[in-house]
Structure 1
Amino acid sequence: MNTTILIIGATFGALSVILGAFGAHAFKKFMNDEQLKNYETGIKYQMYHAILLIIIGCNAQLFSNIDTLSILFTLGIIFFSFSIYGLTITSALNKKWRFLGPITPIGGLLLVAGWISIIINFI
């Protein structure tokens, strides 16, 4: 078991619930349907990968590349989900932070690289 990865996963999970609640209640007042859908995508990917980090942390002995996995998934969540949050919130406020646009696919690539690293680990 890897306690650090468990804490990171649980933190991302808790933040996903908190940020999801904001999206479902407070942000509904000033976001349109497309913005809410995009925001929800960030929430879902954050939660999926938070759960994955907890699974990895609980089964650390199965992964020879656990440090790489935790870094890829942690950075992937931050770059992917948090850039989506920033883009949707600032867009809803008519102050879209366009510099975040290229960060989202980098986060997606980091998440894909994490999944590929899992495959490589088990080959």
Structure 2
Amino acid sequence: MPSLFIALAAINGFIAVGLGAFAAHGLKNRLPEDMLAIFQTGVQYQMYHALALFGVGLLAMQLSDSALLRASGWLFVAGIVIFSGSLYVLSLSGVRWLGAITPIGGVAFLIGWALLAFAMLAGRTI
């Protein structure tokens, strides 16, 4: 499982860099500034959480592969899909109701971070 999280980190980092470049060069003159900023927020959070996934994978390899670490990693993945994905679709389509699901991804990120902290404080034995 640790190597899966590292692979997912690499894939999401790759996608974030590609989408960031796409936004900077392909969308800059095609989207209104507010929609471009929304897209870029999705890219930023995808990259932050790609790095978090990398950390989860390393921790699982180095310390112990616990259920809390795995749950944290999967919540980071879910957060990327829901939070960043909804922002990408919202900014490209203009469909504003998609903004209503974005916080679900944010909550996944928050719970993922909390579980990561708990896993480290609990001695990684759970």
The answer to whether 1:45 aligns with 2:48 is: no
Rounded to whole Å, the distance in 2 between the matches of 1:81 and 1:107 is 8
Deviates more, 1:56-65 or 1:79-88: 56-65
- Give % identity: 36
Write the mapping of 1:1-123 to structure 2, written as runs, cut at 5 A.
Answer: 2-60=2-60, 61-62=63-64, 64=66, 65-91=68-94, 96=95, 98=97, 100-123=98-121
In structure 2, list runs of 5 or more residues that go unmatched: 122-126
The two structures have a TM-score, normalised by structure 2, of 0.87
The two structures have a TM-score, normalised by structure 1, of 0.89
- How far did 1:57 drift? 0.7
Q: How many residues align?
A: 118
Rounded to whole Å, the distance in 2 between the matches of 1:49 and 1:63 is 19
Q: CA RMSD in A?
A: 1.5
Rounded to whole Å, the distance in 1 between the matches of 2:64 and 2:37 is 36
Shift in alpha-carbon separation, 1:116–1:107, aligned structure 2, 3 A: same
Q: Segments of 4+ in structure 1 off by > 3 A?
A: none
Rounded to whole Å, the distance in 2 between the matches of 1:6 and 1:67 is 12
Rounded to whole Å, the distance in 1 between the matches of 2:36 and 2:64 is 38
- How far did 1:97 drift? 5.8
Amino acid at match of 2:36: L
User: 1:60-97 CA distances to partner (integer Å, 9 max, x unpaired)?
Assistant: 12552122011100001100001000000001xxxx26
In structure 1, list runs of 5 or more residues that go unmatched: none
User: 1:33-63 CA distances to partner (integer Å, 9 max, x unpaired)?
Assistant: 1111111111000000001111111121255
Rounded to whole Å, the distance in 1 between the matches of 2:73 and 2:2 is 10
